[in-house]
Amino acid sequence: MYLIVGLGNPEEKYAKTFHNMGFLAAGDCAELLHAKFSRRECEASVAEARLAGEKVIIARPLTYMNNSGRSVAQLMRKYRLSSRQLIVIYDDYDLPKGHVRIRPSGSAGTHNGMRSVIAETGATDFARIRIGIREEGEPLPLIDYVLSEVKREDYELFTAACKRAAEAAVSIAAGTKIDLVMTRFNG
């Protein structure tokens, strides 16, 4: 069993912002697995699917980005999951826009949502799929930038990146070794 979590903010006003790349990718995961976000539990909107005979839970925490870990920890307890069964997808200002980077573990970097996940779960050894959002020469402060809307001319680039991130998450959940997923999707 796997838990795939896309980080973001639940209000409609955040739907097209950089900080909602995880939510968008989680939606793509659900679409790939023919699942629907049909219920709420553990402070998250949840979709459930079967993949290779195993249950896969796809979640979008409704606790807002900076408290995402609260929902993730509740879901992990409810489904009795280890950190190795967790995949988190999120935006990353430290990567160029449109790049996807998969890692089997790591730190939170500059991301407050990931800080919350690490603090609440007490783990760093879970798969993370980062979607790069940095625009070279962007003059806005970080908080203003991540909450700004994706530019229309970049929409296709980010849509494709979210789909790649979703495909990577589904590959991991299907049992593909993370090294192979990294080779296929990083970049």
AA identity, residue 5: V
Q: pLDDT class for 110, splitting at 50, 70, 90? A: confident
Which of 93-107, 137-151, 162-176 is the least confident region? 137-151
Give yes or no: 19 in active site: yes
Q: What is the CB neighbour count within 10 angstroms for residue 79?
A: 15
Question: Of 19, 34, 99, 111, which residue is the catalytic one?
Answer: 19
Q: pTM for the whole thing? A: 0.94
- As assigned by CATH, the class of the 2-185 domain is alpha beta
User: What integer pLDDT is reported at residue 145 of this predicted model?
Assistant: 67
User: What integer pLDDT is reported at residue 19 of this predicted model?
Assistant: 84
* pLDDT tens profile 36-46: 999 999 999 99
Q: Where are the domains of the chain?
A: 2-185
* Residue keyed to tokens 């409810």: 78
Q: Which residues contact 173 (CB under 8 A, 6 or more apart)?
A: 2, 4, 51, 54, 56, 87
User: What integer pLDDT is reported at residue 1 of this predicted model?
Assistant: 96
SS3 109: coil
Encoded tokens for 101: 């980077």
